[in-house]
Amino acid sequence: MNSFRIILAILSLAAAPAIAQENPSDVRALLILEDDAMQVWITAASAANIEYKTTPQSIDRKRTPRSQVQSIYYFEPDSFKEAKALYENRDYETAREKFAAIKTTLERVKNLPGNFGTLAGFYELECCRRMQDLEALAQLLDDYVPGPLVREYQINQVELYAVWDAVRTKSWPRLVSLADELLSQKKWTGTQLAQIYYCKGLALDAIGRKVDALIAFNGAFTADYTASEELTRDAALACMRIYREHEEVKLAIELFGTEDEDRNSAGYTLLQEAVALVDIWERALGGGQALPAEYKSFEQYKESGPKPKAPAKKAEPAKKAEPAKEAAPEKKEEPGAKKEG
């Protein structure tokens, strides 16, 4: 069947009035065969066959060998639309429950490529990740089969759960190595890069490499800027904490505005990075969320002009010149004295 006829079939069925579906475990789909396209309600699928009904109320089941099916176009279930809307509105807890229910309902078709049951399971995992419920994420991954996923970024995201599991187990050196290995690959979206940098930052911070951690956290909130809102805010707050606890930054704050201030010091440079990050938070990263007061106080250390000059030292009074000593009078030669030589 040529692609033009397939598109016409899909459009005509998509434009048709919605049909009541009696059994939510039946999947409304369009089976694309070599010389035909038919709307069906899939009731089950095995490695060899697809079982379906031709109407939602039918009690008769038919089977088609999977080898004869060129592709399957699924109609999105209303329950999935509702769960996805909750997810996009960041109500991850409620969305997770709905995705879990969909995954269970569509268990009988979970081995079909691109099916909504497997996709619901993927979003259930994503809800756990976004809430950073890493124990639940690990438990779900034990049983999750990603094989039917068809979109590359979803397949790649499942691979990235390894770095989150390293965070869960606090395997910091392994996490740094794993993150570096993943960053050497070029297949990640901005959101996925943000995850890798963020988890690497957590590891570097934990093992005491504070400046390297700052670089990694900065990578997290610049990789996709504000797209991953929760994660980029967490990365920015982690940077603020490191700046605040850094001994050289503390010294730069203590000397700020004094004649001993050193604008070429590492501490002063880090302090000005903190000041800039406060500004970025207010304009974009915070998303309207107030910055904690202990970090907002960095604003008062903004560099505002040339370095203040040290007060000139008072000149010491000139010393009075001592009077020149008179030369000793020349001795006169006594009469009768013998000259030597």
CATH number of the domain encompassing residue 14: 2.30.30
Confidence of residue 224 (pLDDT cuts 50, 70, 90): confident
168-206 pLDDT per residue, tens: 999 999 999 999 999 999 889 999 999 999 999 999 999
Looking at the 3D structure of the chain, how many domains does it have? 2
- Residue range 269-293: average pLDDT? 91
- Coil, helix or strand at residue 30: strand
Q: Report whether pLDDT(335) > 70.
A: no
Which of the two residues, 129 and 19, has the higher pLDDT score? Answer: 129
- pLDDT tens for 132-161 read 999 999 999 999 999 999 999 999 999 999
Structure tokens at 194: 């943000």
pLDDT tens digit string along 95-110? 999 999 999 999 999 9
In a domain, 62, yes or no: yes
Q: Is residue 10 part of a domain?
A: yes
pLDDT band of 228, cuts 50, 70, 90: confident
Answer yes or no: is 327 within a domain: no
Judged against a pLDDT cut of 90, whether residue 223 lies above it is answered with no
Which of these ranges, 71-75, 149-153, 198-202, 229-233, has the smallest mean pLDDT? Answer: 229-233
Q: 16-28 as b/e, with b when 16 or more CB fall inside 10 Å?
A: eeeeebeeebbbb
Last residue of a domain, one of 150, 171, 201: 150
23 compared with 122, residue with greater pLDDT: 122
| Domain assignment of residue 84, yes or no | yes
**Is the pLDDT assigned to residue 334 strictly greater than 70?**
no
Q: Are residue 91 and residue 129 in the same domain, yes or no?
A: yes
Please check the confidence at residue 338 and state whether its pLDDT lies above 50: no
Kindly state whether residue 269 falls inside one of the protein's structural domains: no
CA dist., res. 124 & res. 83, Å (int): 10
- What is the pLDDT of the chain when averaged over all its residues? 87
Is residue 128 predicted with pLDDT exceeding 80?
yes
The answer as to whether 8 is a domain residue is yes
Boundary residue ending a domain (124, 150, 176) = 150
pLDDT attached to residue 288: 82
Does residue 59 sit in the same domain as residue 121? no
Residue 234 lies in a domain: no
Last residue of a domain, one of 55, 75, 95: 75
Q: Identify whether 271 is part of a domain.
A: no
3-state secondary structure 31-93: EEECCCEEEEEEEEECCCEEEEECCCCCCCCEEEEHHHEEEEEECCCHHHHHHHHHHHCCCHH
Q: Which domain holds residue 29?
A: 1-75
Note the pLDDT of residue 300.
93
